[in-house]
A and B are shown apart, each in its own frame.
Chain A
Amino acid sequence: MKNIPLAALIGLFFTGLFFLMALFAPLIAPYGMAEVVGDVWEPSSSEFLLGTDSIGRDLLTRLIYGGRTTIFIATMATLLSFTLGSILGFFAAVSGGWVDQAISRFVDLIMSIPSLIFALVVLSVMPTTTTILILLMGLLDSTRVYRLARAVAVDITVMDYVEAARLRGEKIGWIIFRETLPNALSPLVAEMGLRFIFAVLFISTLSFLGLGVQPPMADWGGIVKENKEGINYGIQAALYPAYAIAILCISINLVADWILHRTTSLKGGRG
């Protein structure tokens, strides 16, 4: 632990804090999620730490529950994109040949359309349920993970030690899990952080556009949408989720940076 730089420690602390809040939201939140407890846009007070929202719900409660939804969806989407993307990426890199070509060209195609536009097109006909959102985000983002995983794996599979394993007669399982994966783990874990951030931003954006999480469920993007009119009267309610997202994303970025840095210094050190 003593070797972790301060920035990464701060990142780890806040990341942990947010995840704990998400997990134990019902225990921490002072009120019920959809409970109307006061007037419209009440200022912050000892009763309502951050004030109330556009229909008089406690904003802190909304934020905690909103974080729970946002983090849950982002986590599930990241897990999906990660599992799918890295398995396909490794598979393509190790198989090579037409398998690699076919998957890679298909991924190129998906990536030729901006994710948000693609998502909007699909959401114009799909019901916006949590499952659909997770699937859509996970599938779209798996193309990015695929590219990275494949690139990392290709770098590794041209190494002589992988060729040595092939010459020994090892099966594809050993080559992926014993020769390639251990060497690809660090960049992939760092990438996972970035993908998670992207997922948080993406789901918030969709909800803000009214195409993501549907009310009365709370999520950070949705809270902005509900309270955006208040901005014009100088009410900050819509900005709190912005701060929350920024803190979470910066924290994860710090951790990811540290993981990446740790791996590069492993390779690049002199002597």
Chain B
Amino acid sequence: MSEAPSDTPLLKVRGLKIGATVYPTGERPRPIEIVHGIDFDLAPGKVLGLIGESGAGKSTIGLAAMAYGRGGVEITGGEVTVNGRDILKSGLRDVRKLRGGEVTYVSQSAAASFNPAKRIMEQVTEAAIFQNKFSKKEAEERAVDLFRKLGLPDPENIGSRYPHQVSGGQLQRCMTALALCPQPDLVVFDEPTTALDVTTQIDVLAAIKEAIRDTGVAALYITHDLAVVAQVSDHIMVLQQGTMVEYGTTDQIINDPQEEYTQALVSVRSIKHIEKEPTDTPLLRVENITARYRGTDFDVLKGINVELHPGQTLAIVGESGSGKSTLARVITGLLPPSDGTITFDGRTLSPDLSTRSLEDLRELQMIYQMADTAMNPRQTVGTIIGRPLEFYFGLRGKAKQTRIQELLDEIELGEGFQDRYPAELSGGQKQRVCIARALAAKPKLIICDEVTSALDPLVADGILKLLLKLQKIEDVSFLFITHDLATVKAIADSIAVMFQGEVVRYGPKSQVLSPPFDAYTDLLLSSVPEMKIGWLEEVIEHRRMESAGN
């Protein structure tokens, strides 16, 4: 199979065009092109990173290497050659031999991609066995070997478990084992670490990288995170809206990007923000907050103490399950705490939303992660922003219109947006409207719950800059909840690191982010991918030395 000399490409893509069908409301479905002619080569054993924002067409291109179109997606033109055969011209039988044999796939969500009713081992070895590459016994030995290589606990027995019996990070490694078990020539990794927490991501990433190196397999590595792809790939292709922007070695793309778009991607998250000094009287004081959800006997928050000063930003950082979003719910009154008090602007807030005064509600606003679900799809932008004006200040008619337009100008949207519906806005524009809705109440504090994590990096940058600008103009405080440390560096004045319902580290930004660290903060900080080649090895090496030292 890999008898071809190493300078002939394993995968050759020429003029690849991919189409899909769109269903605009009230119109006939019509075809559109989503990938407009892509060319690239991939040599055996090499890794090509495909990077781009959502809608760049990177997953679609990856699946084209398996002659597969997801949903209504169809390959409309070009050539895809694997091991010298044009797979787009092959019959179904040949394509089936290719899939799962020569080319395999690792999806973003292993949890959904494993059959819940079957044991892991059976699914991992399935393709290798029925593609006649290995006998059942050989395949199972290979699988155990791969489990071990990928650092899974109890490699001999983990295969006999069901998918729901292992953790998300472990399942993602099992998916990698599934892809490598048939000894393919090429693996398509489709955002394999995106759904994982940052401290889990680094381990899975290292495991994948090692497995690629050890097995000598070639890979297409698809992701939106340039810092991640820089760790694993030999070459990188930057995509934007179905066309190639730039292609080069990883070194060249990271250290010497030529195109403006690539430069922007490389320098993303480089906002500089100098922290402000705390004032005498904090705006918000959270004291000894302990909380649990109804019907459970487990404290999600355990004795939380934090303060936020006027005109400043407190970032609450933590991974999923750390309790950071629960803290937001407690502060807003959606979840009354079982213990502790919240003081806001000198007065004690009622623990329950329903008994808070209108003034309390107005001065404490919230912005959500998913702008899509945070706006009523049946209301226009004008209604969405206008309602708080009407509700809190009794503004009507002309006065209301003028104020809405002022707010729209403030969030840099300008004229003509009042009558639009949320569905007609882009992701970034939606989040801006949500910001305007919060500002309309003239709040003293805005809780921002992961407001940039659903957005593409460049768009997220724009939102962060806007928030910083608004903070200056309106003198509003932010309680910024996020899992993303780069965002924290860009915006926070003080930081609270949360882990399993407790604040493990708290203070001014400069202090929290400088050593000496506690174990968890160290782990968290060192796990954030840096836009630097060789970063992954450094961290892994460093950790190995430390654990050897212990």
Contacts and interface: CB of A to CB of B under 8 A. Distances in A.
Q: Do chains A and B touch in the complex (CB under 8 A)?
A: yes
A266 interface: yes
Contact of B391 (A170, A266, A269, A271): A170
B515 interface: no
B279 to A, nearest CB: 26
Contact of A164 (B26, B333, B366, B378): B366
Contact of A167 (B23, B361, B373, B377): B361
Interface of B: 20-27, 32, 72, 332-334, 353, 356, 358, 361-362, 364-366, 368, 370, 373-379, 387-388, 391, 437, 441
B356 to A, nearest CB: 8
A159 B378 CA distance: 13
A182 B378 contact: yes
Contacts of A268: 23
Given A167-B366, A168-B391, A169-B356, 15 more contacts: A3-B27, A160-B373, A161-B375, A161-B376, A164-B366, A167-B333, A167-B334, A168-B361, A168-B387, A169-B361, A170-B391, A178-B379, A183-B377, A183-B378, A266-B25
26 contacts: A159-B373, A159-B376, A160-B368, A160-B373, A161-B373, A164-B366, A164-B437, A167-B334, A167-B353, A167-B365, A168-B361, A169-B361, A170-B391, A178-B376, A178-B379, A183-B378, A265-B23, A265-B25, A269-B22, A269-B24, A269-B25, A270-B21, A270-B22, A270-B72, A271-B24, A271-B32
A174 B21 CA distance: 38
B453 to A, nearest CB: 14
Contact of B26 (A3, A160, A163, A168): A3
Contacts of A167: 332-334, 353, 361, 364-366
Contacts of A160: 368, 370, 373-374
A182 B370 CA distance: 20
A271 B368 contact: no
Contacts of B364: 167
B376 A183 contact: yes
Contacts of B437: 164
B239 to A, nearest CB: 17
Contacts of B373: 159-161
A250 B366 CA distance: 48
B496 to A, nearest CB: 22
Contact of B23 (A166, A182, A270): A270
Contacts of B20: 270
Contacts of B362: 169
Contacts of A179: 376
Interface string A145-179: 00000000000000111011011111000000011
A28 B106 CA distance: 69
A269 B21 CA distance: 9
Nearest to B370: A160
Contacts of B377: 183
Nearest to B360: A169
A161 B385 CA distance: 12
B276 to A, nearest CB: 27
Nearest to B366: A167
A125 B378 CA distance: 48
A168 to B, nearest CB: 6
A79 to B, nearest CB: 24
Contacts of B388: 168
Nearest to B21: A270
A16 to B, nearest CB: 23
Nearest to A269: B23
Nearest to B20: A270
A165 to B, nearest CB: 8
A167 B362 CA distance: 9
Interface string A177-191: 011001100000000
Nearest to B437: A164
